[in-house]
Amino acid sequence: MNFEKFKKKFHSSWHSSVKSFIESESCNAIYKVLKETKGEVAPKSLFTFRSFKKPLKTTKVVLMFNEPFSTKNKEGVQDADGIPLSCAVTLKLHPQLNAFYNAMEKEFYGVNLKLIKEPTVDFYISQGVMFLNDSLTTVIGAPGKHKGLWDEFIETIFIKAFSSRRIPIVFCGKELYEKYKKLVSDLDLPYFVIEQPIEQSKLGIWNTNNTFKDLNNYLKTESKHEEVFWVHQDVPF
């Protein structure tokens, strides 16, 4: 692929990490699969690399999920917008994101606060949290269709971007951790493992086992970054 046609899809700070892959035969193979896919690919091509729009140097932590939403709303609009949990196109709060908000409230306060529940995760992204899918694409109505398709790209990001900066990874799902266990060990990357929010999203309860408190403690003691405010609330004073 011609990197000149891709470079605007990434913040410039990512260019040195992704250029060689974009120009590789492996990337050509991915796009061959995408073009030949029967069905509607999600997210729209415009949004495929949205997770990489923010500067790499400001990234404090990566939350890693499986794949984009493979659903549409009642109007036939894709829920996926290129960033896990986020629905910037439909502007409707997804049950998984609702579960995420509820889990943050429970972990940090355990009380009924007046949470601000936006349909996007911009509040976290603005603090340096990167939301990243293991598979950058899927097919509407066929979850898992592109499983494994983006593996080499993701491994490249781990090696060329996350490793030198020792960016901690939160694997949202034990299967994801098992998949990348050897890689994070070889790269000596800090990591955390929790359940997928989808597992209990319908109940609005997601047990994070104080992972985000532990993560903030890591950021405070082991990195140059400030802690993340995980609870977005309307403070009444």
Instruction: Please say whether the beta carbons of 169 and 190 come within 8 A.
Output: yes
Q: Is residue 161 part of a domain?
A: yes
Number of domains in the chain: 1
Burial of 175 (0-12, 13-18, 19+ CB in 10 A): exposed
User: pLDDT tens digit string along 113-128?
Assistant: 788 999 999 999 999 9
We report the CATH number of the domain holding residue 28 as 3.40.470.10
Other Cβ atoms less than 10 A from the Cβ of 194: the count is 21
Q: Is residue 54 part of a domain?
A: yes
Q: pLDDT at residue 155 above 90?
A: yes
User: pLDDT tens digit string along 175-199?
Assistant: 999 999 999 999 999 999 998 876 5
Q: β-strands 169-172, 191-194: how paired?
A: parallel
Q: Is residue 135 part of a domain?
A: yes
**pLDDT score for 206:** 81
Show the tokens assigned to 165. Answer: 């900066």
Q: Is residue 186 part of a domain?
A: yes
Q: Is residue 229 part of a domain?
A: no
Whole-angstrom distance, CA of residue 127 vs CA of residue 141: 33
User: pLDDT tens digit string along 127-152?
Assistant: 999 999 999 999 999 999 999 999 99
Range of the structural domain that residue 189 is part of: 3-222
Per-residue pLDDT band for 37 (boundaries 50, 70, 90) equals very high
Q: Is residue 230 part of a domain?
A: no
Q: Is residue 125 part of a domain?
A: yes
Q: Is residue 36 part of a domain?
A: yes
**What is the 3-class SS of 179-226, one letter each residue?**
HHHHHHHHHCCCEEEECCHHHHHHHCCCCCCCHHHHHHHHHHHHCCCC
